[in-house]
Amino acid sequence: MASEKMVKEITSMDEDFAKWYTDVCLKAELIDYASVKGCMIIRPYGYAIWENIQSIMDSLFKDCGHENVYMPLFIPESLLQKEKDHVEGFAPEVAWVTHGGEEELEERLCVRPTSETLFCDHFKNIVHSYRDLPKLYNQWCSVVRWEKTTRPFLRSREFLWQEGHTLHATAKEAREETERMLNVYAHFAEQYLAIPVVKGQKTEKERFAGAEATYTIEALMHDGKALQSGTSHYFGDGFSRAFEVQYTDKENKLVYPFQTSWGTTTRLIGAVIMTHGDDNGLVLPPAVAPIQTVIVPIASHKAGVTEKATEIYEKLKKVCRVKLDLSDQTPGWKFAEYEMKGVPLRLEIGPRDIENNACVIVRRDNGEKTTVSLDELETAIPQLLQNVRDGLYQKALERRKTMTYDALSLEEMKDIAENKAGFIRAMWCGDRECEDKLKEVAGVTSRCIPFEQEHLSDTCVCCGKKADKMLYWGKAY
RNA sequence: CCGGGUGUGGCGCAGUUGGUAGCGCGCUUGACUGGGGGUCAAGAGGCCGUGGGUUCAAGUCCCGUCACUCGGACCA
């Protein structure tokens, strides 16, 4: 049974979830701490997960027609200042470069916390005609935000991400792009990461600095806290106006284009850890697992075992990412090791199996063991990987269901927030004061106004006034 | 930024009223093993975070400082 704790060294979730999380990050060799607070070394195993995330998402973007670019790391202070809300939102957490060598710079340079300003400045130069639109750009890079409290993957001062920036002729087209990319994120999270998400819109309070509308995918972690896992913003023409991006339309009029931006980060790895992980460590969804199947030979000194294991390895290389571990560790050690690292499938092959022309395959997600004929491996393994993905998704979905509560009154809201962990659904009148009050008295923030609405009642959970919006609330990372 | 915790071999820790550092894991070598972190034997490895102070003597006491970490407040 997978629920039985077989890997020591990792604090159990119930005992201390935060400790469990950092244990997994370190013991599974995803990261190491670096010499600057809030910065992390992403180790080969962790980086390989990111590379898999990147390559899948990148091809999804390209299917939509996006092109990759690279913008500079530095933003001159004057450029950052151009959009008022934007600079107010980010100013408290930017890192500044003030010197080049010994010389003080005439103008401070901000290390990009996000690149809207850079893209706008560039768009201004390259967009002049309706023929230049749309512009569908994306960049993979790192950004810096000087966070006070930091945690691996969830909140680091430097993090890797992708940021899409697009420019469109009409508001309608830009709105469609915003929604399309949110759907790409949701699709990626659910199909590839096996993480169920709630799609919806952020309230004004939680909206991105400078945006007209922010959309989000919200996931629920094992401990009942919410994690914003991807955002897509509609900017209207606010940034265009601030940066004087203009083009001549078909009627020969000088007009402002409409803009979007959208981003996901290495935080997705944190989401994977906290959604699927268990007391034995990491559990990786097959699509992004660096190793999808690990072959552990049993009694490998005995005649024919290593040969057979190698033969299987060569065969499986064609159908999945496979590792053959011929190291001299004991089988038991290897079992624990790859469980800790979340490898979806383990294939055991020993003298007994060889006699039967079979092997034992163990699923990481539920511990299920099956004996598979060596002749059927190439079809059985991909099928089992798919089963793992489906199993992970179902389990996460079930958990979210049981951890989602409805609140009809403020008292109920406080009671749930205090005694239960999870999402709370409740009606909201739309006033900022109620949002602030719920934070104050119940300690919850609004996660999103889900697209899939359900009418729970006619009145705001907080003030009792008329309400027609149902919101997801919760404690968030 | 506020509050708590922790800094001692690679990792986890112990170290009494101050007396010159120890345990477990890991590592190396060898043997026996091998279907859930195996057993035995022999080894290697330490400016006790850092700066100052008290003292004949500081891992231990005092002051400062830095880092990490947890929980808040703020954010992906």
Answer with the one of A276, A302, A322 that is the final residue of a domain.
A276
CA of residue A83 to C1' of nucleotide B8, angstroms: 52
d(CA A461, CA A467): 9
Separation between the CA of A242 and the C1’ of B51 (whole angstroms): 51
Tell me whether residue A2 is in a domain.
Answer: no
Q: Are A314 and A421 within one domain?
A: no
pLDDT at A13: 87
Same domain, A356 and A307: yes
Length of chain A: 477
Q: Which residues pair with A360 in a beta bridge?
A: A348, A371
- What are the structure tokens assigned to A85, written together? 């809300």
- pLDDT for residue A79: 94
Same domain? For A210 and A359 the reply is: no
**Closest nucleotide to the alpha carbon of A360, via C1':** B35
Which tens digits make up the pLDDT trace of A114-130? Answer: 999 999 999 999 999 99
Percentage of the residues of chain A whose pLDDT score is greater than 70? 98
Inside any domain, residue A175: yes
How many independent structural domains does chain A possess? 3
Q: Cβ of A114 < 7 Å from strand B?
A: no
What's the CA–C1' distance between A325 and B43, in Å? Answer: 28
User: Model confidence over A21-45: pLDDT tens digits?
Assistant: 988 998 899 988 877 788 888 989 9
- On whether both A24 and A122 belong to a single domain, the answer is yes
Would residue A360 count as lying in a domain?
yes
pLDDT in tens, A341-351: 999 999 999 99
Residue A73 has pLDDT above 90, yes or no: yes
Mean of all residue pLDDT scores within chain A: 94
Q: What is the CATH number of the domain that holds A409?
A: 3.30.110.30
Residue A178: partners with Cβ closer than 8 Å, 6 or more residues away: A213, A215, A232, A233, A234, A260, A262
Using the 3D structure, point to which of A218, A244, A276 is the last residue of a domain: A276
Subset of residues 270-299 in chain A with CB less than 7 angstroms from any atom in strand B = 280, 298-299
Scanning residues 68 through 107 of protein chain A, those with a beta carbon under 7 Å from any atom of strand B turn out to be 92-93
Please state whether strand B lies within 7 Å of residue A476 at its CB atom. yes
A35 nearest nt, CA–C1': B67
Q: Is the pLDDT of residue A179 over 90?
A: yes
Residue A333, CA distances (Å) to A56, A325, A360, A362 in order: 32, 11, 17, 15
Weakest mean pLDDT among A85-89, A227-231, A400-404: A85-89
Residue A54 sits in the same domain as residue A155:
yes
Domain that holds residue A316: 291-384
CA A33 centroid distance within chain:
20
Q: Which of residues 295-334 of A touch strand B (CB under 7 A)?
A: 298-301, 328-333
Residue A320: the pLDDT is 98
In a domain, A186, yes or no: yes
Query: At A47, which helix (H) or strand (E)?
Result: helix A44-63
Confirm whether A88 is domain-assigned: yes
Same structural domain for residues A164 and A75? yes
Residue A116: which CATH number? 3.30.930.10
Checking DSSP bridges between strand A423-428 and strand A469-474, what pairing results, if any? Answer: antiparallel
- pLDDT tens sequence across A416-461: 998 999 999 999 999 999 999 999 999 999 999 999 999 999 999 9
Q: Is the pTM of this model over 0.90?
A: yes
Residues facing A263 on adjacent strands: A163, A231
Nucleotides of B under 7 A from a protein CB: 1-2, 33-38, 67-76
In a domain, A286, yes or no: no
Q: Which residue has the tokens 């508001």?
A: A171
Q: Are A305 and A218 contained in the same domain?
A: no
Mean pLDDT of A352-373: 97
The contacts of residue A314 (CB under 8 Å, 6+ apart) are: none
Tell me: do A182 and A252 sit in the same domain: yes
Residue A284 lies in a domain: no
Q: Where are the alpha helices (DSSP H) in A303-425?
A: 305-316, 331-340, 351-356, 377-402, 410-419
Q: Are residues A104 and A167 in the same domain?
A: yes
Q: From the alpha carbon of A335, which nucleotide's C1' atom is closest? A: B36
Average pLDDT (A8-24) is 84
Distance A264 CA to B75 C1' (A): 15
Q: Which residues contact A343 (CB under 8 A, 6 or more apart)?
A: A284, A289, A291, A292, A293, A294, A323, A364
Where among A251, A276, A301 does a domain terminate? Answer: A276
Q: Looking at the structure, do residues A119 and A194 belong to the same domain, yes or no?
A: yes
For residue A282, tell me if it sits in a domain: no
Return the closest nucleotide (C1') to the Cα of A336: B37
A216-228: average pLDDT: 95
State the complex-level ipTM: 0.87
What CATH number is given to the structural domain containing A366? Answer: 3.40.50.800
Q: Does the C-beta of A176 come within 7 A of strand B?
A: no
Is strand B in 7 Å reach of the CB of A373?
A: no
Q: Are residues A306 and A260 in the same domain?
A: no
Report the pLDDT value the prediction gives residue A4, as an integer from 0 to 100: 56
Span CA (A295) to C1' (B33), Å: 20
Question: Measured at the alpha carbon of residue A446, what is the angle toward residues A442 and A451, in degrees to the nearest 5?
Answer: 140
Residues A238 and A337 in one domain: no
